[in-house]
């Protein structure tokens, strides 16, 4: 492995990422399954980095899952996304920050479609105006929220309380990075580092002191793949994809997986539980499963935030082995308590806990 070769490729895929004043659009899945991630993104941007990030309550789903399931036609999704651009224009913002990789892929695809087929853009303007009376502008800057954390990764490193070092061994943590397919595989120029050797997450890992694990099935799908999962009869295929990926990374004994896509986080986390139930197989060291974190959650740990405030307890694979390696103190009694201290029901069968 020659890191210089990777740097050479990365230098070809440097995208412009706005510095401030973001119109933030949330993800359907992440709000439900990893709610601490988006919450911490806003906290980090506004209160730690001092940036202006605006959320409009009128923002809706992008309908991406419906689009990829063939139940939402392209004219409809273009109009939905055009409405988000209209909300952005009305709010006085020009830089869009997108939380979801599926949405990011769709925004990128639709902007590219409009560039090559301007008549589609004009039709979308007409549909939106007829339906809502709204008008919109094309954003000046389109960034995925992982792009934005990547941009500020060195600032985060300067404020770090927990670098990605195994406190027990003194060695850097071995971290698998997994990039959502829709981040850059369709449009390599839209992702930091391109499609084959993306740098958006590996850059964070390096900046925060960890080591990136390169393993044979690094590019393989997480197992979601939309209709592999959405069509119930295909779910075995979805699980087998995840099993193939984890079997490939297992010999490298990774300490955690870092992802930037809601689907990837969800499936790499939850299918580990499923595979363990089905086959009794686990993929981490010493019979443990491998914690799968979002980049916001990891940034939060690096900055010294309480893992339960970051929402790590809502993952199927619990993060205690990772927290121990990082030397982070935590109190399991607080794990499933609300902000005002009320005890919530404690889920059964959590793994690694």
Return residues touching other proteins (CB under 8 A): 1-2, 4-6, 8-9, 194-197, 214-219, 251-252
**Residue 13 or residue 34: which is nearer to other proteins going by CB?**
13
* Distance in Å, CB of 51 to other proteins, minimum: 33
* Distance in Å, CB of 4 to other proteins, minimum: 8
**Cα within 13 Å of Cα(71), Cβ side:** 9
DSSP E strands, 33-107: 53-54, 95-98
**Residue 59 or residue 250: which is nearer to other proteins going by CB?**
250
CB 225 within 8 A of CB 144: no
- Looking at the DSSP assignment, which residues form a beta bridge with residue 177? 258
d(CA 100, CA 120): 24
Residue 8's contacts (CB-CB under 8 Å, 6 or more residues apart) are: none
Residue 266: CB atoms within 10 Å: 23
* Distance in Å, CB of 249 to other proteins, minimum: 10
**Residue 157 or residue 200: which is nearer to other proteins going by CB?**
200
Residue whose pair of structure tokens reads 């499933």 in the numeric block: 336
* Distance in Å, CB of 212 to other proteins, minimum: 12
**Residue 57 token pair:** 């309550």
**Residue 4 or residue 329: which is nearer to other proteins going by CB?**
4
Closest CA to 211 of 258, 261, 246: 258
**Residue 193 or residue 311: which is nearer to other proteins going by CB?**
193
* Distance in Å, CB of 183 to other proteins, minimum: 15
Helices (H) and strands (E) in the chain, counts: 16, 8
* Distance in Å, CB of 197 to other proteins, minimum: 6
**Residue 110 or residue 184: which is nearer to other proteins going by CB?**
184
d(CA 24, CA 84): 10
């Amino acid at each position: 492995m020659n890191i210089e070769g990777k740097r050479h490729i990365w230098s070809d895929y440097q995208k412009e990422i706005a510095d401030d004043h973001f119109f933030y659009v949330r993800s359907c899945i992440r709000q439900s399954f990893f709610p601490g991630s988006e919450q911490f993104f806003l906290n980090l941007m506004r209160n730690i980095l001092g940036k202006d990030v605006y959320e409009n309550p009128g923002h809706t789903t992008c309908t991406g899952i419906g689009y990829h399931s063939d139940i939402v036609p392209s004219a409809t999704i273009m109009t939905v996304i055009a409405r988000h651009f209209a909300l952005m224009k009305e709010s006085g913002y020009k830089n869009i920050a997108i939380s979801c990789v599926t949405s990011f892929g769709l925004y990128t695809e639709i902007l590219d479609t409009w560039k090559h087929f301007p008549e589609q853009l004009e039709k979308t303007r007409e549909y939106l105006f007829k339906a809502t009376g709204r008008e919109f502008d094309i954003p000046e800057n389109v960034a995925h929220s992982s792009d934005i954390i990547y941009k500020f990764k060195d600032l985060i490193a300067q404020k770090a309380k927990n670098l990605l070092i195994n406190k027990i061994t003194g060695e850097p943590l071995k971290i698998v990075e997994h990039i959502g397919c829709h981040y850059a595989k369709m449009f390599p120029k839209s992702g930091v580092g391109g499609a084959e050797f993306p740098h958006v997450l590996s850059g964070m890992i390096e900046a925060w002191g960890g080591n990136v694990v390169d393993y044979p099935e690094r590019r393989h799908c997480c197992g979601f793949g939309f209709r592999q999962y959405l069509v119930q009869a295909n779910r075995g295929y979805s699980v087998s994809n995840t099993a193939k990926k984890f079997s490939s990374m297992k010999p490298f004994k990774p300490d955690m997986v870092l992802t930037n896509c809601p689907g990837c986080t969800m499936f790499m986390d939850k299918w580990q539980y499923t595979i363990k139930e089905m086959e009794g197989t686990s993929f981490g060291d010493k019979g443990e499963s491998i914690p799968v974190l979002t980049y916001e959650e990891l940034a939060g740990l690096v900055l010294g935030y309480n893992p339960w405030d970051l929402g790590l307890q809502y993952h199927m694979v619990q993060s205690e082995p990772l927290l121990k390696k990082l030397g982070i103190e935590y109190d399991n009694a607080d794990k499933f308590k609300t902000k005002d201290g009320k005890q919530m029901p404690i889920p059964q069968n959590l793994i690694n806990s």
